[in-house]
Structure 1
Amino acid sequence: MALILQTLVCVFVFLYTPAQTAYCHGKPDLNAKQNLNPVFHGETRFVRQVKNGKLYVAGEAQDAFNVVHLWGTPYEMGYAHGSLVKDEAFRFIQSVWTYMEQQVVLAINGSVHIFKPWFLKEVADKGLDVALDAEIDVTRPFTGEYFFQEAKGLADATGLDYKMILRIHMIGELTKGDCSMVGAWGSAVKQPGSLLQLRALDWNTDGPFKDFPQVTVYHPSDPKYGHAFANIGWTGWFGSITGFNSKQMAISEIGVSFPDASFGSESRFGIPFTYILRDVLQFDSSLSDAMHRMKNAHRTCDLILGVGDAKVKTTLRTFAIVVLVYLVSYCKVQDSWQNPQFSLAFKILRVWGPNFYTDTDMEPEASWHPKVKDIVYYGMDWLCPGFSEVLARQLTKHHGNLSPDVVIRDVVSIEQSGSLHIAVYDLSNNQVYIANARGTYESGPLDAFDRTFVQLNTTALFEVQPPQV
């Protein structure tokens, strides 16, 4: 009984703790220029195949990237992935691990501020590998088993350390990325009945990610493993941060570093956001499926998640911004998070779910974040006036004429969002436009929003046939 009372006191104290509100102070360059690079429209080019996998290349010259197709069970897909791009996957995983070690040292010394304080304390006390293993342990009950099977396949094919693969996939939970998203339909778009969606990722152009861009297309062998979907990310990476599926759905995401009073404390005990976004792509067939998943998930960090569904014909729900507004904190009353009293608190607290916003009720309400008919948008964060007002201005300026070309030329290039990579989804027409940051040994502009976009036909991607080997 005492433990239950302690739990309830913890709940009560948190709910009546005032939140501190701060704003991000960044803003785009006033001299930002249009992106006038022609979009690359060529076909993907076949390179090689292995059992359960095919490798293609999309784009040309310094804007080219791998397109990997995988078939079979999760283990078989992981093994095929590693077999097709063994050297690249090995270098990527090792490079990310080295980068994380370097960044943690800088963070402990106060030189960078990308990690959460509790994580840095654990690293200082126990070491990076132990701290990440603890994060894997507390999120494992909420993680699909397919993820671990795929990691094992990748490890077996490449010779990489299985635990290292899992550890680097925790990086999204421990850092914050500044990103932007847009959903536009109805009166806002040039083509009647179309749905446009933007996902711009601003994150770590100084790290190894820019050197390993890849689109990974999954063709599960059995319906129990879901349907076909594609991750836009990097070689050897299989969490989802950007992507689309064969059901004409796509995802966007923003890490929230500047919440308002509607957000509460974050939690370690739940499903990592890169896994829940993958579950949306892999298993959900409609916007309502995704909303149900978001509502009932054990969530962790403060995020804005966007899900687009081109099949929805009403403008009210054509594009939903799924905002995870944390009104609660999880209170641990004993050393084991599996303690029954902690479980009671967990169940009590998680009745507060995310808020689902459209163009008519989008928050936060502010002069720098005006409502625009048939558009939802967020620039770089939840409270980020400098970027949000520029994004709103460009969307309003081109309202009624929005198309993939306009978004590329006049929206993300002027807002200057999407440093690492960008996806512009034209879901109704089964097209996606992708740009990546400049690699270490490449030339031209650094940021993806200033570089050449490559167009891919999503229908053609999902119709690629498995190898006959």
Structure 2
Amino acid sequence: GFRIRGIPIGEQIYLDDIELPDMTVQPSICNGRLRTKGPPAQKYLQVWGSHYEMGYAHGFLLGEEAMANLIRFAIGSTYLHMMTPIEYEYGILPYFRLRFYIPQKYEDEAQGAYDGIVAKGVDLTHPELGRDITAEDILCLNAVDDFGIFWCSSISGWGESTINDDTLQAGMVIARNLDFSTGQYTSLGNTSVIIACSPDASDEQDFILVSMAGLFGCLSGINKQGVGLCSNYGNHPDTAYIPSHSLVPLGLSCRYAIETIDPDSNGINDIFDITHAMHDSTCLMSWDVHLFSPYDALHPIPAGILEINNIGDSLRLVSDNSIPPAINSDWNFCVTNHDRVYHPPEYCYRYQVMADSLNNDFHLTTQRAIAIENAVANWSYFAGTVQSMVFRPNLILEHPDWP
């Protein structure tokens, strides 16, 4: 389930609620479908094929929204923008060219997105840059998580925490707020989209991203095995020495981790696939990544927090919940933007609120998980909670409309 801020509890948008056409009426112009559920309107994009083909469909079907994010959110001269045109052209973009490495398949996807936008006839002009947007700019936009600060928070429960819920029945639930700058006219939240991807590569699997137009990296996502992650900005970046072309945008590393079939090759799809895939990842900033999977006999450890920066990482487990402020439960996690294992913990008001709520009662339903996240949501005119969402991986079903 997924909902934009402002949709009341009980009116979440579920993937099962979104009716898609039969395969016989799929569009022939691109490997994609776009549908809207609402009100409030929530867009659902389904893409399939090669990375180039998925990117092309993304660009063709969401080209206007992708350009809106570049113009109204990413690059501009107001305090609502992430960076000024001068900062981008003479700081961010040269740094991106020098320090980042982009795997070829994601370069192909960005080129596809660009070609799709062109084919749709969308104006590529960025008025404040004074030039047309390029495929390279789209790639750089997909490193937005490395150049900005995503505050974010999440809470999860499973087993004894959710055993009394008739729907969850001891399965995993994770509620998550994504907090960031909103852009002009709250552009970032208004271009939110659920992207269902079905890659045709033999070593990749179907997965879903909760994202924004133009962004195909993973800040929040889940694969068809029910293994997923939610990324929160951390508080211990290490940028003292970064070799040329050594960084991969965090969103693309996270996407690789959930789209790749069994990265650790042990025959089990679990959170340790993600830790294996990201162990050697080099990201510019510090991150606390909430990992999750179904909770069952094959997944006795269904959650963890990967605390990671450019030089190392640690995996936080429920045995670390005793670190003050303690969470007196072996069936829950809370995450905000502070390491607790990789580095000593720091006080966080939002973490304290969530910990107090769980210590008062560690049992979670979907509605209570959402309510706790609502209690720590942020909002101001230019920044705040732009997405709220819920994942319930034990309830994941094969989507009836995969190509």
TM-score grouping bracket, smaller chain normalisation: 0.7 to 0.9
Q: Deviations over 1:108-143 (max 9, x none)?
A: xxxx9x78xxxx9xx86xx522423333324543x3
Give the AA of the match of 2:92. Answer: L
Q: 1:240 to 1:36 in 2, by over 3 A?
A: closer
- How many Å apart are 1:325 and its aligned residue? 5.5
- Corresponding position of 1:403: 365
Q: What secondary structure, in the 3-state scheme, does the structure 2 residue paired with 1:156 have?
A: helix
8 Å CA contact 2:219, 2:231 repeated in 1: yes
- How many Å apart are 1:36 and its aligned residue? 4.9
- Corresponding position of 1:183: 156
Give the AA of the match of 1:137. Answer: R
- How many Å apart are 1:40 and its aligned residue? 4.7
The answer to whether residue 401 in structure 2 is matched with residue 464 in structure 1 is yes
CA distance in 2, matches of 1:88, 1:279: 24
The answer to whether residue 175 in structure 2 is matched with residue 217 in structure 1 is no
CA distance in 1, matches of 2:299, 2:196: 29
- Counting only pairs closer than 5 Å after superposition, residues 378-417 of structure 1 correspond to structure 2 as 378-382=335-339, 383-400=346-363, 402-408=364-370, 410-416=371-377
CA distance in 1, matches of 2:300, 2:317: 7
- Corresponding position of 2:72: 95
- Corresponding position of 1:20: none
CA distance in 1, matches of 2:240, 2:349: 25
- How many Å apart are 1:205 and its aligned residue? 2.7
The answer to whether residue 303 in structure 2 is matched with residue 366 in structure 1 is no
Q: Name which of 93, 110, 132 aligns with 1:133.
A: 93
The answer to whether residue 403 in structure 2 is matched with residue 420 in structure 1 is no
Q: Which runs of 5+ in 1 are unaligned?
A: 1-33, 327-349, 431-457
Q: By percentage of residues, which structure has more helix?
A: 1
Q: Deviations over 1:34-79 (max 9, x none)?
A: 9655445672144873431111223x11x22111111111111111
The count of residues paired between Structure 1 and Structure 2 equals: 351
The answer to whether residue 52 in structure 2 is matched with residue 75 in structure 1 is yes
Q: Deviations over 1:293-337 (max 9, x none)?
A: 2222223311101211216637762101111166xxxxxxxxxxx
CA distance in 2, matches of 1:81, 1:303: 27
Q: Deviations over 1:374-415 (max 9, x none)?
A: 112123544343111111122233423x1212212x311222
- Counting only pairs closer than 5 Å after superposition, residues 294-309 of structure 1 correspond to structure 2 as 294-309=278-293
TM-score of the superposition, structure 1-length normalised?
A: 0.67
Aligned sequence identity (%): 16
8 Å CA contact 1:321, 1:356 repeated in 2: yes
- Higher Cα Rg: structure 1 or 2? 1
CA distance in 2, matches of 1:252, 1:359: 17
- Counting only pairs closer than 5 Å after superposition, residues 10-409 of structure 1 correspond to structure 2 as 36=9, 38-40=11-13, 43-46=17-20, 49=27, 50-58=29-37, 60-61=38-39, 63-97=40-74, 100-102=75-77, 127-141=87-101, 143-159=102-118, 160=124, 161-189=134-162, 190=164, 191-207=168-184, 208-224=187-203, 226-257=204-235, 259=236, 264-265=238-239, 269-285=246-262, 286=269, 287-310=271-294, 313=297, 317-324=301-308, 350=311, 353-362=312-321, 365-367=323-325, 369-382=326-339, 383-400=346-363, 402-408=364-370
8 Å CA contact 1:244, 1:251 repeated in 2: yes
Q: Which runs of 5+ in 2 are unaligned?
A: 1-6, 119-123, 125-133, 263-268, 340-345, 379-383
CA distance in 1, matches of 2:138, 2:295: 36
Q: 1:267 to 1:375 in 2, by over 3 A?
A: farther
Q: 1:91 to 1:242 in 2, by over 3 A?
A: same
Q: 1:176 to 1:149 in 2, by over 3 A?
A: same
Q: 1:90 to 1:379 in 2, by over 3 A?
A: closer
Give the AA of the match of 1:373. Answer: D
8 Å CA contact 2:154, 2:176 repeated in 1: yes
Q: 1:88 to 1:275 in 2, by over 3 A?
A: same
